[in-house]
Structures are given as structure tokens and as C-alpha cells.
Amino acid sequence: VPVLLAQAGQKPYMTPGRAQIFVSLENTESRGIHMSRLFKELQESLSHGVLSFTLLKETLSKFLQTHEGLSQKAKIEIEFQAMIQRRALKSDNQGWRTYPVKISAFQERGHEARFYLETLVTYSSTCPASAALARQLIQENFKQNFRQKDLDFKEIYDFMGSTDGINATPHAQRSEARVKIEVSETSFGFEKLIDLIEAVLQTPVQTVVKREDEQEFALRNGQNLMFCEDAARRIQVQLMKEAAVLDFVAELRHLESLHPHDAVSWVSRGRELKGF
């Protein structure tokens, strides 16, 4: 389905989306639901407004109205790729990133609607254990080269800037943070969730990269050594601070460069959300 998105600093734009719509069937006398009514209501809603929780809530109400006497519950999920412009870390450049997003809502007659956001953020993770082992090798290498010498600043400076001086590097890998939240405020958008995740992890993958940007990225990786468990704790701590986040679940997946398997950590608030 075509989805109209509105994001900060951008004109509303149309993007392809994928929708799933559901209604319950409590009426045992009826053989089925009215699928065409659901499809028509969805098309009508999406063609007349920007995608939002408010729009989904109105659409769910229409679903239940068209299924009076048949259905007590309705649900809608819409998936799409959000485009967000990101600035380079140091240089005066910027580029576009795409993020998979799922926005969903659930309504039961006589109850308030419930709203959910889900996204996946790609970032870089450097292994703390590997970094410690690399530092140990660099120390031993330095000792072997300078133990019998009078220390000279320039010689040491040149040595530490050479491949002979830095003879080991830790392993790092592309990693993924998949996060789903239940929100109480219809104004809590997917951009805010994505920004929150990237800010707390500190090492999101980049768009345009010049030498100064790559150097800054290397510094950030060195200052944010993370096991997948560390990344999960960061996400948990930050989401617990957000008053509008009622519930959450997150999967942190490090696509290991050392192992032939991934390292994965899960964290949740411990309420209803247990999976995706």
C-alpha cells in the first residue's frame, strides 16, 4: 500500500508499505468476516492522511463499525522503509539512511487503543575482550622493542604510528538492534525511537565518510567497546527513562567476525511484550 510519511524538516513523502489487518470473529453464527470492507477502509484512510497513530486509531474504529455484531477486536500493522538524512561525524557532508519500521495498533471494543513501534538500527560493535588482548600484545611488543633503549620521544612517537608499533587490532562487526515498544502517546514517532537507539549505542553505521569521519568513527568504537549484553543494557536503561514507553522488548545481535555464529542478547521490561 502507498504510505504518506511526515518527518521533521522534510516535506511529506509517499513510500511503499506493507499492511496486515485483522479482526476477531466471536459470532459463531457467521461463517466469516467482510474482507472487502476492511480493504476499502484501509485504502480510504491511507489515501487521505499522513500515517500516524491517530490515523490508525480512526481506521480501527471503522473496522469495528463495519463488523458490528461480528468482531470485538481489530489490529493493523504497517511496515515501510523510513528515509532519514544523517550528517557525517566530522566533515560537512550528509547522506540518506533507510530504516525498517513497523507501526501497529490494537483496539478492543470498550477499551483504549494500544500503539506499538518497531525498528531495526544497524551499528558497529568492537569486542571488549579482543580489545584488551590487542592492548596486551601492543604492550609486549613495545617492551620487546624498547626495553634495552634509552627512551626517545620521537622514536616512540614514530613507532606507535607504524604497523610495527600497533601490531594487533580487536575484532569488530556490524551489529543490529531490533527494538519494539508500546507507547502511551500518539506523538511518540519512529524518528524519536531511532534517534534514541543511535544516541545510546554511539556507533551507528554512517552514510558519506571522509577520512576525518572514519577517524572519528574509529574513536567512537574505541570509546564504546560492547558485548551484545552491554548494548542490551544501554537500550534497557534508556527506555526505562522514557515515560511514554509502557513496555519494550529488544534483541541485540552481533554478527560476529570471530565466530561462525551470531552473539545475541534479549532484554525486556517484563510486562506483556516478550517477542516480535
Specify whether 93 is located in the same domain as 214: yes
Rounded to whole angstroms, the Cα distance separating 39 from 23 reads 12
Asked if 228 and 253 touch (Cβ cutoff 8 Å), the reply is yes
In a domain, 61, yes or no: yes
Neighbours of 212 (CB within 10 A): 12
In a domain, 84, yes or no: yes
Kindly indicate the confidence band of residue 271, based on its pLDDT and cuts at 50, 70 and 90: confident
Does pLDDT of 20 surpass 80?
A: yes
Specify whether 148 is located in the same domain as 61: no
Specify whether 86 is located in the same domain as 202: yes
State pTM to two decimals: 0.92
User: Positive or negative CA dihedral for 265, 267, 273, 274?
Assistant: positive
Asked if 52 and 38 touch (Cβ cutoff 8 Å), the reply is no
Name the amino acid, one letter, at 205.
V
In a domain, 33, yes or no: yes
Rounded to whole angstroms, the Cα distance separating 96 from 161 reads 34
Does pLDDT of 48 surpass 90?
A: no
Specify whether 145 is located in the same domain as 14: no
Specify whether 141 is located in the same domain as 260: no
Rounded to whole angstroms, the Cα distance separating 100 from 117 reads 11
Does pLDDT of 9 surpass 80?
A: no
pLDDT tens string 183-242? 998 788 999 999 999 999 999 999 999 999 999 999 999 999 999 999 999 999 999 999
pLDDT tens string 66-75? 999 999 999 9
Average the pLDDT over 125-147 and give the result.
Answer: 95
Averaged pLDDT of the chain: 94
Specify whether 149 is located in the same domain as 77: no
* pLDDT given for residue 19 in this prediction: 97
Specify whether 153 is located in the same domain as 204: no
pLDDT tens string 87-100? 999 999 999 999 99
Neighbours of 234 (CB within 10 A): 21
Q: Is 57 helix (H, G, I), strand (E, B) or coil?
A: helix
Integer angstrom CA distances of residue 199 from 111, 123, 158, 183: 35, 11, 35, 19
* pLDDT given for residue 217 in this prediction: 98
Residues spanned by the domain of 206: 2-127+171-268
In a domain, 275, yes or no: no
Range in 103-107, 247-251, 271-275 with the lowest mean pLDDT: 271-275
